[in-house]
C-alpha cells in the first residue's frame, strides 16, 4: 500500500528518507503533483517509467531547492541566470547543457547532453528537496496518458500500490505544468507553454522562438521526447541479434551470445527495469570502447516488450534508425 504522509516535519523527513533509499514518492508542487525519485539513481529513475507505464524514455525534469544547486549540474549562461532570478522558485523549467561532472543518471535526461531543471515554488516541495539533499527527477504523478494530478487523491487514483508514498500538500495552486524554455542553443526556444507566460519571458530576455516540431505521438522533439535518430551512437546499431560478428560490439540482455569480444551487459537475469537503468550508459560505453577496439557496429540482443521493454525498444529503434536526412 502507498503511504500518505502529511507535509509536516515528520512527513517530509520520512519522504526524504524514502527517496534516498531509492523509493518513489509523489509530492505536491505549485503546478501539479510530481512522481519523485533520486535523479542520481538510475534504478530509481527506471522505476518511474515502470510505475507510469511510460512507453518511451522522455527526459525528466530535475527539481532542486535553489538555483545555485541546479547550476551545479548544468551550465548556466547569462540568460539562464537572469530568468532564474526572475522566476525561480516558480513554474519554469530550463533546458541547459549538462556539466561534465553532473551526477544525474543518464536515464533521467534520456541520454541527452542537456538536462531540464527547475526550482519549484511550493514550500513543502522545497522542504523535501532540502531534506533529500539530492536532485529529484519528477514527471507528473499519473499513469502515462492520463490527466495530470493536482491533489494527493488524484495520485492515489492512478498509482495506489505502485509507489511508496504521497506527501500530501493539499491542492496545487497553478494546476498546469511548468513552462519549458530551452536555453541550450544560440536562441531561446519555448518547448512547452505553462505556468509562466511567454509574454513575461519575452519581457525578461527578449524574443523567443517556438518549438513546433513533434513526432507521431505529438511529443516535442527536444524535451520531452527524442528525434528518431537523436543522439544515436556513432557506431551503427543492429537490433534483435541472434549472433554477433567478429567486428561487432554487443549490447547483451540475459545469457551472452558467444563470440563477443567487447560487450556491455544490461541485465544478466533479463530484468527490464535493471536494463532500463543501464541502457544509456551501455550505449555510450560501447560506442567509445567499441570504437577504440575497431568495432564496426553494435549488435543488440532481443529484449521483450514486457515491463520496461517497450520503452527500451523504442529508444533502441531510434538509435538504429537511418542517419541524416
Domain over 237-320 is classified CATH 3.30.2270.10: no
Please state, in angstroms and rounded to a whole number, the distance separating the CA atoms of residues 98 and 167.
29
Q: Which residue has the cell 523504442?
A: 314
Task: Report pLDDT digits (tens) over 97-154.
Answer: 999 999 999 999 999 999 999 999 999 999 999 999 999 999 999 998 888 899 999 9
pLDDT at 230: 44
Please state, in angstroms and rounded to a whole number, the distance separating the CA atoms of residues 60 and 117.
9
Please state, in angstroms and rounded to a whole number, the distance separating the CA atoms of residues 84 and 107.
25
What is residue 149's DSSP assignment?
P
pLDDT at 18: 98
pLDDT at 226: 36
Question: Do 188 and 95 meet the contact criterion of CB atoms below 8 Å apart?
Answer: no
Q: What is the domain partition of the chain in residue ranges?
A: 3-210, 237-320
Question: Do 45 and 107 meet the contact criterion of CB atoms below 8 Å apart?
Answer: yes
3-210: CATH topology is DHBP synthase (3.90.870)
Give the mean pLDDT of 159-164: 97
Look up residue 197 and give its three cell numbers: 507566460
Task: Report pLDDT digits (tens) over 37-65.
Answer: 999 999 999 999 999 988 888 899 999 99
pLDDT at 218: 37
Task: Report pLDDT digits (tens) over 185-237.
Answer: 999 999 998 899 999 999 999 999 987 544 333 334 445 433 344 447 889 99
Look up residue 122 and give its three cell numbers: 511550493
**Distance, C-alpha 22 to centroid of its chain:** 15
CA distances from 34 to 142, 201, 205, 255 (A): 8, 24, 28, 37
Better-predicted residue by pLDDT, 45 or 177: 45
Please state, in angstroms and rounded to a whole number, the distance separating the CA atoms of residues 72 and 88.
16
Please state, in angstroms and rounded to a whole number, the distance separating the CA atoms of residues 23 and 65.
19
Secondary structure in 3-state letters for 61-105? EEECCCHHHHCCCECCCHHHHHHHHHHCCCCEEEEEEECCCCCCC
Look up residue 42 and give its three cell numbers: 538510475
Question: Do 270 and 258 meet the contact criterion of CB atoms below 8 Å apart?
Answer: no
- Entry pTM: 0.86
User: Among 131, 137, 143, which Cα is nearest to 116's?
Assistant: 137
Q: Is 206 left (phi over 0), alpha (psi -120 to 50) or beta?
A: left
Please state, in angstroms and rounded to a whole number, the distance separating the CA atoms of residues 61 and 39.
9
Q: Which residue has the cell 560487450?
A: 263
Determine which of 89-98, 220-229, 241-250, 301-310 has the lowest per-residue pLDDT on average. Answer: 220-229
Whole-number percent of the chain with pLDDT over 90: 80
Amino acid at each position: 500500500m502507498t503511504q500518505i504522509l502529511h507535509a509536516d516535519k515528520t512527513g517530509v523527513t520520512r519522504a526524504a528518507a524514502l527517496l534516498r533509499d531509492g523509493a518513489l514518492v509523489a509530492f505536491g508542487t505549485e503546478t501539479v503533483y510530481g512522481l519523485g525519485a533520486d535523479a542520481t539513481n538510475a534504478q530509481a529513475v527506471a522505476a518511474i517509467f515502470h510505475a507510469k507505464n511510460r512507453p518511451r524514455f522522455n527526459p525528466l525534469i530535475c527539481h532542486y531547492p535553489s538555483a545555485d544547486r541546479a547550476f551545479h549540474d548544468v551550465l548556466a549562461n547569462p540568460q539562464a541566470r537572469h530568468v532564474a532570478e526572475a522566476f525561480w522558485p516558480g513554474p519554469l523549467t530550463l533546458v541547459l547543457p549538462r556539466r561534465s561532472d553532473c551526477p544525474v543518471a543518464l536515464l533521467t535526461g534520456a541520454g541527452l547532453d542537456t538536462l531540464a531543471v527547475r526550482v519549484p515554488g511550493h514550500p513543502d516541495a522545497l522542504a523535501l528537496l532540502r531534506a533529500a539533499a539530492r536532485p529529484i527527477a519528477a514527471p507528473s504523478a499519473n499513469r502515462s496518458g492520463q490527466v495530470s494530478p493536482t491533489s494527493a487523491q488524484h495520485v492515489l487514483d492512478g498509482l495506489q500500490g505502485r509507489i511508496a508514498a504521497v506527501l500530501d500538500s493539499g491542492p496545487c495552486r497553478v494546476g498546469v505544468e511548468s513552462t519549458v524554455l530551452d536555453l541550450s542553443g544560440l536562441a531561446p526556444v519555448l518547448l512547452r507553454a505553462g505556468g509562466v507566460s511567454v509574454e513575461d519571458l519575452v519581457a525578461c530576455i527578449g524574443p523567443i522562438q517556438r518549438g513546433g516540431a513533434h513526432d507521431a505521438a505529438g511529443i516535442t522533439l527536444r524535451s520531452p521526447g527524442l528525434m528518431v535518430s537523436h543522439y544515436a551512437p556513432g557506431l551503427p546499431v543492429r537490433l534483435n541479434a541472434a549472433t554477433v560478428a567478429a567486428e561487432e560490439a554487443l549490447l547483451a540482455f540475459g545469457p551472452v551470445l558467444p563470440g563477443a569480444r567487447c560487450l556491455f551487459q544490461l541485465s544478466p537475469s533479463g530484468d527490464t527495469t535493471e536494463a532500463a537503468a543501464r541502457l544509456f550508459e551501455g550505449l555510450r560505453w560501447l560506442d567509445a570502447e567499441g570504437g577504440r577496439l575497431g568495432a564496426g557496429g553494435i549488435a543488440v540482443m532481443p529484449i521483450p516488450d514486457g515491463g520496461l521493454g517497450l520503452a527500451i525498444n523504442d529508444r533502441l529503434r531510434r538509435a538504429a534508425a537511418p542517419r541524416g536526412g
